[in-house]
Amino acid sequence: MMRTAQIVAKNVIRSLINGTAPWTLLCFAAYAGEGEWNRFRGPNGSGISDAKTVPAQWTEKNYNWQVALTGVGHSSPVIRGRRLFVTCGDPKTADRCVLCLDTTDGHKLWQRDFPSRKYAQHPDNGYATATPAVDEDGVVLTWTTPEEVLLVAVSLDGNELWRRSLGPFVAVQGSGISPIIVGDLAVLDNSQEDPSLVPGHKTPPGPAGKSFWIAVDRKTGRTRWQVDRPTSFSAYATPCLYEAKDGRRELIFTSTPRGMTGVAPATGKILWELDQKFLDRTIASPVVAPGLIFAGHGAGLRGSRYVAVHPGEGGGRPTVAYELTKSVPLVPTPLVKDGRMYLWADDGVVSCVRLSDGELVWRERVGGSFYGSPVWVDHRLYCIARNGDVVVIAAGDKFNLLVRVSLGEPSYATPAIAGGVMYLRTRSQLFSLGGKSGQ
């Protein structure tokens, strides 16, 4: 059954590229099926799993396993079958690695190391913040220093397949850009900082960093297309796919200078852009619903504004359906499900709004501070606070805080779910929870 689900998912993604998948299949591809969590927040970044065997409440004795990782980091795990991939860094040397663990018991199958060097970044950032992407050929990941943005592909068995050096990287906060895999392409949003906005910045020898979106051949790493973009504040949002009413598939990018943009996946052609820029940095990733795309921006410790956009259909101009400005997130990505959008703000205020018009259903404070994003499992939302508390609330029209469970260590990561199991990453540990009927 798992093999069948993998084949169907693979065919769906291919059809997204060649233009043959209907909206119902795009929705199917956006939910996590058996054995796969392929990028940041799972298929298409939705954060939605069809698992039924993750408990709503648990204690330490309910974990399947808990392992110490080889280093620390903030990236989220990705899963393919019985292989789980997660990145780690050494805060003393900045050396980095990607680990492959067996999902059955957490033992290490292999580790691939990447030497690096220390550099200045936000104190809450680290050397392993970007989440990899995985498919049947292995993982694609990014490593960043001021001198270089490195895009690397590694096989499921740990062999390096190719690497691309994309030039220097400029950002006052450091790096956190995550790649995605779309059919036979690996896609990266390489949006950088205007050097004039970085206090005391000294450009490394060689060409200056610049902002661009790039798609490379998944098998070879060769450039298929590249779109140069204006440089302002560095962006940290991970792109997603949207299907227009006419069946056209679009990659959705967000940035400060251009707000929101729809791009043809196969060619990189810009199909439409929001005719207004975002005023602040884009960190939370865009999410989609039928006829709507959601994205936001913010600065400091909180979000400033979230917009719901009707994209430019049939070559038309995109329009803003509505805006949200109260208790919107800066870092956590919202979650869309069953006609509702859940916005989990950095300061622990959670809002539920109607998708159709943005009308508030409820807003409550769960407490704590958050960098991780919520995920949806069996009508529940799970989100990890920065102190390592997993907060679980009911997903619905009434607020209900179900449980708060401490992982015992800070966490800035987002849970991953595959094969009915949830994987919870803290700074230096990984937990496996669920997957057993009746647990």
Give the start-to-end residue ranges of the domains of the chain.
Answer: 2-434
Query: At 197, is the secondary structure helix, strand, or coil?
Result: helix
**Neighbour count for residue 249 (Cβ, 10 Å):** 24
pLDDT in tens, 80-123: 999 999 999 999 998 999 999 999 999 999 999 999 988 878 78
Which residues are bridge partners to 114 per DSSP? 96
Closest CA to 94 of 124, 67, 65, 71: 71
Alpha-carbon torsion angle 3, 4, 7, 10, nearest 10: -100
In degrees and rounded to multiples of 5, residue 24 shows phi and psi of -60, -35
Identify the three-state secondary structure at position 398.
coil
Per-residue pLDDT, 7: 42
Tell whether the model's pLDDT for residue 274 goes beyond 60.
Answer: yes
Prediction pTM value: 0.90
Label residues 150-168 b or e (16+ Cβ within 10 Å = b): bbbbbebebeebbebebbb
**Which of the 8 DSSP states describes residue 203?**
P
Determine what percent of the chain is predicted with pLDDT higher than 90: 69
Please, where are the H alpha helices in 337-385?
Answer: none
Degrees to nearest 5, angle at CA 298 with 275 and 254 = 45
pLDDT in the model for residue 8: 40
Confidence band for 315, pLDDT divided at 50, 70 and 90: low
Query: Could you report the per-residue pLDDT of 118-139, keeping only the tens digit for each?
Result: 887 878 878 899 999 999 999 9
Residue with tokens 């043959």: 20
Inter-residue contact 96 to 87 (CB < 8 Å) = yes
Q: Which residue has the higher pLDDT, 289 or 8?
A: 289
Which is more confident, 408 or 9? 408
- Is the model's pLDDT at 28 over the cut of 50? no
- CA gap 187, 181 in Å, rounded: 6
Q: Is 256 left (phi over 0), alpha (psi -120 to 50) or beta?
A: alpha
pLDDT band at 27 (very low <50, low <70, confident <90, very high): very low
Place of tokens 């040397």: 93
Q: What is the CATH topology of the domain spanning 2-434?
A: Methylamine Dehydrogenase; Chain H (2.130.10)
Which amino acid type is present at position 161?
L
Phi, psi of 160 (to 5 degrees): -70, 130
Kindly give the pairing relationship between strand 96-102 and strand 148-154: unpaired
The owner of tokens 């390592």 is 388
Residue 303, both tokens: 């979000």
Measured between alpha carbons, how far is 67 from 101 in angstroms, rounded to an integer? 10
User: Which run of H or of E encompasses 424?
Assistant: strand 421-425
Nearest alpha carbon to residue 362 among 350, 346, 372: 350
Give the chain's radius of gyration (CA, Å).
20
**Sign of the alpha-carbon dihedral angle for 84, 368, 331, 308:** positive
Determine what percent of the chain is predicted with pLDDT higher than 70. 87
Confidence of residue 293 (pLDDT cuts 50, 70, 90): very high
The SS3 assignment for 202 reads coil
pLDDT of residue 34: 58
